[in-house]
Amino acid sequence: MRTRYVQINSELVKVPDDWVPEPRSDYHIMPDIKPYRSMADGTMVTSRSTQREMLARNNVMQIGRDSSLFKPRKPLQSPPGLKEKIIRAVENQESKLRR
């Protein structure tokens, strides 16, 4: 049979198999950004709110390390036979108009 232990205050404590730790309610405070000069318009960005305003004002997007935006997109493939169906439909409509 397996025995479970958890470390509490640097001491191993035996716990039952169905033991679940209590949810933590710690806060995480994220620091503000360091000031930098905007490459879009040259203004100084000193906070996240001024950064959001600058991005909206210049219609730009921050991409960070997301390289998926630089990957070439795959060309769209039409379903097989679509071109022929379109040609037949156009010819059918044209023949109806000629009657």
Q: pTM, whole model, 2 decimals?
A: 0.41
Mean pLDDT estimate for the chain: 88
Would residue 56 count as lying in a domain?
yes
1 domain residue, yes or no: no
Question: What is the number of structural domains in the chain?
Answer: 1
Residue 50 within any structural domain of the chain: yes
Which H helix or E strand runs over 20? none
* CB of 36 closer than 8 Å to CB of 45: yes
45 assigned to some structural domain: yes
Q: Cα(12)–Cα(9) distance, rounded to whole angstroms?
A: 8
Cα-based distances in Å from 8 to 15, 21, 23, 47: 11, 11, 15, 39
Check residue 23 and give its pLDDT: 84
Residues of the chain with pLDDT below 50 are: none
Q: Is residue 51 part of a domain?
A: yes
- The domain containing residue 38 runs over which residues? 29-63
Q: Give the model's pLDDT for residue 5.
A: 92
Bridge partners for 45 per DSSP: 36
User: What pLDDT, on the 0 to 100 scale, is given for residue 1?
Assistant: 66
